[in-house]
Amino acid sequence: KRPAGAPDKALARTVTKVGIVGAGLMASQLALLFVQRLQVPVVLTDIDDDRVAKGVGYVHAELDRLAAKGRISRDRLTRYRSLVSGSTSKAGFADADFVIEAVFEEMSVKKQVFAELEQVTGAECVFATNTSSLSITEMAADLQHPERVVGFHFFNPVAVMPLLEIIPGAQTDDATLATAFAVGKDLKKTCIRAADRPSFIVNRLLGRFMGEAARIVDEGTPIEVVDRAFAGLAPMPPFVLIGLVGPAIALHNGETLVRAFPDRFYASPTLQRLVAAKLPGFYDLSSGRPVLTPEAAELI
Ligand code: 3HC
């Protein structure tokens, strides 16, 4: 059955090579998923050799782990490993049909990435963005081919979370959208079409939930108590989730929503302090049991 709002799949273009801009945690999780499910060459790029090596290293290590667990055969391991490569140059994207960016969540950075991509890719290459909150229409507006840009928003951890939000901008054409839905299906994700509104669907819902949890903490209830109140209600309590998605992303999402809908969302000073202190989250998760870190406790 065709997902609601998806164009006829006959319009979808074949994808024989994928480019990924960024080699951070999200980008390398995407590379791992694309190589396993699409089984085509996947090229990761980033601004320096260390980041690229780290991204490719993550994919190789995860593939090794899956093979050691017997989840993929030795033959597949060798093939998948050889399909993943990395570079600091985007020249390898020249023959890519589908490029996804997962760089810093800042409109000007994303626009710059797409402007550079237009110099190296063919005119029909789809430009997908894993933005969690920014406008697809605005991101595409200055390009020669804005019709090829589409939102393609994954959730953390990418290997486990079933959902993919697909977001057309005002100028996205049907061939681009159909390709995005076809790729999403090949990735075995549940694809939904979301409107190009701040934070789309999931992060807008999550923003209310996280904002209210933060407000309760800012009113004086300890973080661990708020998190414990979620026992059985959600797979992960709100302040543990902040560590999973990254405090900067959580804050950025909250701030985007406050700007868009000031009467309904809340920017938490506690979260702002966590990001300013560059801490990875509120908890130390190494023991398997969340323990509030002394640095985080000091910020509250
Ligand atoms: N990478 C790959 N696989 C992972 C993983 C990771 N980081 N973390 C967990 N998994 C896998 C495990 O290997 C295991 O797989 P298996 O059953 O096949 O062996 C499975 O997930 C379950 O893991 P665990 O038993 O260790 O732990 P849990 O049952 O507690 O599940 C969880 C972990 C899946 C992360 C679960 O806690 C969860 O669903 N949390 C909520 C996550 C969430 O809400 N994500 C959305 C965040 S919002 C977002 O990403 C949007 C962005 O724009 C900000």
State both tokens at 170. Answer: 């005002």
Residue having the nearest C-alpha atom to atom 53 of ligand 1: 132
Does position 1 have pLDDT exceeding 90, yes or no?
A: no
Residue having the nearest C-alpha atom to atom 8 of ligand 1: 157
Mean pLDDT across the stretch 16-40? 97
Torsion, Cα 244 249 253 259, to 10 degrees, reads 150
| Helical H segments across the chain, by residue range | 25-38, 49-68, 74-83, 107-120, 136-140, 174-186, 202-218, 223-228, 238-245, 247-260, 269-276, 294-299
147 part of the active site: no
- The H or E element spanning position 9 is none
Instruction: End-to-end CA distance of the chain: give it in Å, rounded.
Output: 49
State in Å: Cα 293 to ligand 1 middle: 22
Question: What digits encode the pLDDT tens for the residues 263-300?
Answer: 999 999 999 999 999 999 999 888 877 789 999 988 88
Give all domains of the chain, ordered by start, each with its CATH number.
9-193 (3.40.50.720), 202-299 (1.10.1040.50)
Question: What digits encode the pLDDT tens for the residues 109-140?
Answer: 999 999 999 999 999 999 999 999 999 999 99
Burial of 172 (0-12, 13-18, 19+ CB in 10 A): buried
Of the residues 165, 224, 295, 298, only one is catalytic, namely: 165
Among candidate residues 82, 59, 49, 85, the one with its CA nearest the CA of residue 158: 59
State in Å: Cα 236 to ligand 1 middle: 9
Distances (CA, A) of 288 to 104, 178, 230, 279: 29, 42, 17, 19
Report the C-alpha gap between 170 and 136 in whole angstroms: 8
Which is the closest atom of ligand 1 to the Cα of 244? 47
This complex has an ipTM of 0.94
Report the C-alpha gap between 261 and 58 in whole angstroms: 38
Rg (CA), the chain: 20
Q: State how beta strands 84-87 and 18-21 pair.
A: unpaired
Question: What digits encode the pLDDT tens for the residues 99-116?
Answer: 999 999 999 999 999 999
User: Count of alpha carbons within 13 Å of 282, Cβ hemisphere only?
Assistant: 23
What pLDDT score was predicted for residue 26? 95
Report the C-alpha gap between 150 and 259 in whole angstroms: 23
Mean pLDDT across the stretch 243-271? 94
Task: Compute the mean pLDDT over every residue in the chain, rounded to the nearest whole number.
Answer: 95
Does position 242 have pLDDT exceeding 90, yes or no?
A: yes
Question: What digits encode the pLDDT tens for the residues 179-232?
Answer: 999 999 999 999 999 999 999 999 999 999 999 999 999 999 999 999 999 888
Asked whether 137 lines ligand 1 (CB < 6 A), one says no
What pLDDT score was predicted for residue 223? 92
Question: What digits encode the pLDDT tens for the residues 145-154?
Answer: 999 999 999 9
Which residues, including other chains, have CB under 8 Å from residue 126's CB and lie 6 or more apart?
A: 13, 15, 97, 98, 99, 148, 150, 176, 179, 180
Report the C-alpha gap between 207 and 265 in whole angstroms: 7
Which mutation among 30, 69, 160, 203 tests ligand 1's pocket best, with the greatest number of atoms within 8 A of CB?
160
Among candidate residues 105, 84, 82, the one with its CA nearest the CA of residue 28: 84
What pLDDT score was predicted for residue 287? 83
In this prediction the pTM is: 0.95
Report the C-alpha gap between 40 and 149 in whole angstroms: 21
DSSP-derived letter for residue 12 is P
